[in-house]
Structures are given as C-alpha cells and as structure tokens.
A and B are shown apart, each in its own frame.
Chain A
Amino acid sequence: MSLNQIERAQGLRIRSTQDFAGGLFMILLALGAYAFSWDLPAGSLRQLGPGMLPKAFAVICGVLGAILTLTSLRYHGEKLSGWSWKGVFFALGGACLFALTIRGFEIGPVQVPALGLLVAGPLLIFFSGLAADDRKLKELVIFALAMSAGCILLFKYALSLPIPLAPWLLGI
C-alpha cells in the first residue's frame, strides 16, 4: 500500500488547521454579511436593488469558505500558529490611545480634554514600544519625545496639516 493510500484510508480529519479555520472564518463573515443585508431588497435583473450584490458576494464568500474547509480535511497544509497578544494589546492599544487623546473624548462619566499631538504622540510611541521583547525603558522615553518633536515639526509646521498640537496649553 503506498503512502497515498494509507493517507486516504485514514478518512477525513483536519489536516490543515490553518485552512480549516480560514474556511470557517469565511463562512462566518458570509453569514454575518448575509444576515445584515437581509432587509435590503435585491431588486430584479433589470433594476438591481441595493441588496443584490452584498447578498451575492456573501453567498460566494460562504461557498468558497465551505470549499476551503473541505479541502482542509483532504489535503495537508499549514498549521495555525500562536498569536502575539502583546503586540495586539500594546501596538493597537497605543493607536487607540492616540485616537482617544488627540481631540479628547467623552464616554459617559469619563472625560478627557483634547490633549493634542504634544501628548498623544509620546503616549502612542511609549505605549506601543512596550510591545517589543527587548524594550529599554529609558531609550524608549527619549525616543518617544524626540520622535514626537520630529513629527510635530514635519507634519504641523513643514506640511501644515491641521492637527491639534496642544489646545490645553498653547491654544492650537
């Protein structure tokens, strides 16, 4: 019995966790998109309605996802590898901090005034810099300040983009 036949004899099982998860992911997205475009009229062929294409694309996505899931049972492929939660938390968290502080926000009882680039910049660099395994705090602080100063000069003054600098301190 050749190796191929032995493989086949073992029947269906998940041979590529990456493709399997990818297929499920596509199916999930497709179901979501289909459900949310449920109310949109599909119209007729002569006059396509707003719902026609979203639904059509969602169906195709779902079918492709199903095929991908099935092939993952038949053919070998990549395995899923672990996530870098640290990267997600610090790097994306840093970006969210930037979004929250640049012009201030108000969510229920929490209020943050518009802090501007002068604060949001170093905050973003410092917080996201924590994601690196080989971080050095002192170096990071100096880099955060220097890089922010550079960005302020470049974007605010050299390119004169209308980005708030420090409304609470300088009024601009």
Chain B
Amino acid sequence: METLSHLSLGFGVALTLKNIALCFAGCLVGTLIGVLPGVGPIATISILLPITFGLDPTGALIMLAGIYYGAQYGGSTTAILVNIPGEATSVVTTLDGHQMAKQGRAGVALGTAAIGSFFAGCVATVIIAALGAPLTKMALLFGPAEYFSLMVMGLCFAVVLARGSILKAFCMIMLGLLFSTVGTDLETGQERLTFGVASLSDGIDFSVLAMGVFGFAEVLRNLESPEARDVVKGKIGRLLPGWDDIKQSIAPVLRGTAIGGILGILPGNGAVLGPFASYTMEKKIAKDPSRFGKGAIEGVAGPESANNAGAQTAFIPLLTLGIPPNAVMALMVGAMTIHGIIPGPQVMTRNPELFWGMVASMWIGNLMLLIINLPLVGLWVKLLQVPYRLMFPAILIFCCIGIYSVNNQPLDVAFTALFGLFGYLLIKLGFEPAPMLLGFVLGKLMEEKLRQALIISRGSFMTFVERPISAGLLVVAVLVLAIALLPSISKKREEVFTE
C-alpha cells in the first residue's frame, strides 16, 4: 500500500500542466534528435542537456527522462527505417525490423516496437515504485566500504558487458578513473594534474567530456565514411499491428519485459544485454528459427520490450544507491548535479516529490511516446532524408551553444573540441568510449568512499573483505571477471555481440 501512496504522490506532481508539458517537450525533442542516424541516446542527452538549465530540478529531471525515452525510441525508429543502430541496444532491432520495413511492413514494425515498449515501460514503472523504498532502506545500511565494493563490482560488470575486447574496455574504465582524479584534492586542497589551468581546478567538466567524446567525435567518425544510408523507400504501411501480429508478439513482449527488466537492475550496464538475450531466446524457442533475420515480428517485439524495460529499470541503482549503472545514467548524474541534486538514497527521503514525480513521469513519458510517435512517423521519415552535410553542422552548433551555456565559458567550447579530437583518436584505436564516461563519474565517488573506509578501518584494506556485504560484492566482481576471461565464455561473448 505504501507503493500506491507513493505513486499517487508522484502522479500528483507529474500531472500538473507544466510537468506534462515538459514531459511532452522532452519526449518530442528527444525523439527528434535521437532519430538522426549516428546520434545515440548519450549524444542526444548531452546535446539537449542545456535546454533544461532554466527549469526547477523536478521539471528538469522529468524533461530529461522524457528526452531519454524519446532518444531510445528514436534510435529504434532509425534502426528499423535506415538500418543504422544509434547504440548497442538497438543493434538487434535492425536485424528483423529493417527486413520488415523492406517488405513494406515498416509501420507494423514501428507500431509493435512502440506498443511493446509501452507495455514494458508500464511494468518497469511498477517495478521501480515497488523496489524503490526497500532498496533505499538497504542502501542506508551501506557504509563507505560497501559502497566502494559495490562500485568495483559495477565497473567489473561494465568491463564484461562492454562491446569489443575486455582488455580495451578495462583500459577505458581505468582511463576514466584517471581523468576523475584531475582537479583539486578534496582533503588537502592540492591541485592535481591541472597543468596550472584555472578551469581544470574543479576537475574536468563532465559535460565537456561527454559532449566532446560523444558529440564531436561521433561527427568526426561519421564524416570519415561516405554515407551509406538505406532509408526505406516504399510506403510505411499501416501502423497498428493486425490481430495475427498481436497474437504472435504477446508472448515475446512478456518474455522480453521480464528479461530486460531483471538485467537492467544489475549494476554495470546490464540493460545492454536485454535485447540480445531476448532475441536469442525468441530464436531458440521459435518453431521455425529460420524466419529470424528475415522479418520475424517476434524479433522486434521481444528485444524492443527488453530494451525499454532495461532502460527504465536502470534508473533503480541510480535513484536508490546513487550509482549509475551505465554511461547514459552517468550522464543523468551529471545533469542532476548541475541542478544541485546528489543522487543517492537521500533523494527519496529529502525530496519525495522529485523522486516519485520522476517515477510517475516515466509512465506518462511512455504513454506520450505512443501518442507522439505513431502519428509523427511520416515526419521522422522526412527527417531521416536530411543529408548528413547539413545535419552535422546543426549538431555542432547545438553542442557549442550547449557547452557555452553550462558555465558561460568560451574556453569550455575549445576544451570540448580537444576532447572531440581525443574521442576520435580513441575510436581510431578501437576503444569504446562509453565505459570511460562511467569510470569518470564513478571515480570521484570511489575515491571519497575509499578514503572514508580506510580512515574508519585505520588504514587496513582488510575492511573490504571482513565486512560481509562488501566481501560478497567483491566476490561477485571477481567471479564475473574470471568467468568472462574463461576461453569458452569469451568466445561465446564475442558471438553475442557480433550476431
């Protein structure tokens, strides 16, 4: 019953006219930018971050959540219509979604994706509401040692679940941690690695790093290869799936929601596995697996539901423990900090309206997406035909104005360009930058908790192993790493990510 009263508080906040309007605007612009090929959710959120600056924290977070779902859904639209996945999780959607589009069933694919996502979103909202309070209570029992071990475990998961080589993902996490140490030392006030640059004394600005590595560097990457955009030419077809389609997709949607929802809660980007797991499962249990890859509706319904469920339950570690499980959530931490909110268990007790308002707005956002997107598909198709030569200058000016507005510092724009170059170098060297962002955000928190834990334990590292919860988390971390490094598993892992 507690859950119900919380949800009603949330809906009371989220259903004010202003917040509905913000949620709507967020979903709309999120989809608008997210639909652009080559712009994933991370880039979308970093580009659109500045438009939330003028708002109150609750409104800003509601809008950001809207932008996030919009970006997710926009990514699926691009995957289906153009065969370009905006991010790792929509790779799976391209397999059958684009085939459906080629067969003139683009509308049905989009409709199924939207309805499946909506259903998954509803379930995930309930899960968040139900788990929010108990997990927060648990989080309050956590001391610095437990927090530190939890973050170590999260980073280990992130290494294992990253795309490409484990070693390279490990490199990126450590680089992110290294970057997080730049700036004034919290305890002694000594400047570290700042090279005497005044604007570095507060550390590397989060939005500068994110927009450089995900905004600018992506533009550079896309500029390099001549465009091969395969926009579906024929008609979109009707949007609402027919009775046969619905019958075929109900079970995959249910399974996808369950898989995605559970994986999303894991620290360290579990959400990314959801669509892959769901697709593999549907293919395994299908009567005729050969239909997959040739436009099977189950191959859209399942993974899309898993994707959305995971995208939403990924908020759970962030909102209850204050630990972002993946790069997108790391971005949300950055956004929340700009608005003066430190994510963690205290948010729910201190700002209940903000917490529950955001949870409720997640559900509203999902409904909104269904309402916005189905009629606007025609507009998205038009937008997809805008040539890249015009698209990237538009992306650049959005990034520049955004970065400038964070601190009103022109120098930040130049720094972003520098990080853009750095990000491009990383791409060229085959490093995936997303784990770096996660390491960067967790780094500061880890250092703080590590120091506190060592002070409490009088300098003994044994504290991490002696405390049962902390030891358990570390054991899980080591196990995950060890299993992933086993030759047979690592081969399997490669297959999952290349399929």
Contacts and interface: CB of A to CB of B under 8 A. Distances in A.
Name the prevailing secondary structure of the A interface residues: helix
A163 B393 CA distance: 19
Interface in A54-90: 54, 57-58, 60-61, 64-65, 67-68, 71, 77-78, 80-81, 83-84, 86-88
Nearest to A51: B192
Interface string A128-146: 1101111110011001100
Contacts of B50: 155, 159, 161
B420 A95 contact: yes
13 contacts: A22-B171, A40-B190, A78-B430, A83-B424, A92-B216, A94-B393, A103-B410, A124-B400, A125-B393, A143-B393, A155-B401, A155-B405, A160-B54
Nearest to A71: B167
A53 B447 contact: yes
Contacts of A46: 454-455, 458-459
Interface string B449-461: 0110011001111
Q: Which 6 residue pairs spanning A and B have beta carbons closest together?
A: A46-B459, A132-B389, A50-B185, A84-B224, A99-B413, A87-B223
A168 interface: no
A33 B193 contact: yes
Contacts of A37: 192-193
B250 to A, nearest CB: 42
A94 B216 CA distance: 11
Contact of A92 (B171, B393, B420): B420
Given A33-B178, A48-B451, A91 B190 contact: no
Given A33-B193, A46-B458, A91 B175 contact: no
Interface residues of B, number: 67
B436 to A, nearest CB: 11
B447 A161 contact: no
Contacts of B455: 46-47
Interface in A15-69: 18-19, 21-22, 25-26, 29-30, 33, 36-37, 40, 44-51, 53-54, 57-58, 60-61, 64-65, 67-68
B373 interface: no
A154 B50 CA distance: 11
B471 interface: no
Name the prevailing secondary structure of the B interface residues: helix
Interface string B170-190: 110011011001000101101
Nearest to B195: A36
A96 interface: yes
B454 A48 contact: yes
B168, B397, B431 pick with most chain A CB within 10 angstroms: B397
Interface residues of A, number: 78
B190, B405, B413 pick with most chain A CB within 10 angstroms: B413
B480 interface: no
Interface in A143-172: 143-144, 147-148, 151, 154-155, 159-163
A49 B186 CA distance: 10
Contacts of A147: 393-394, 397
B397 A22 contact: no
Nearest to B394: A147
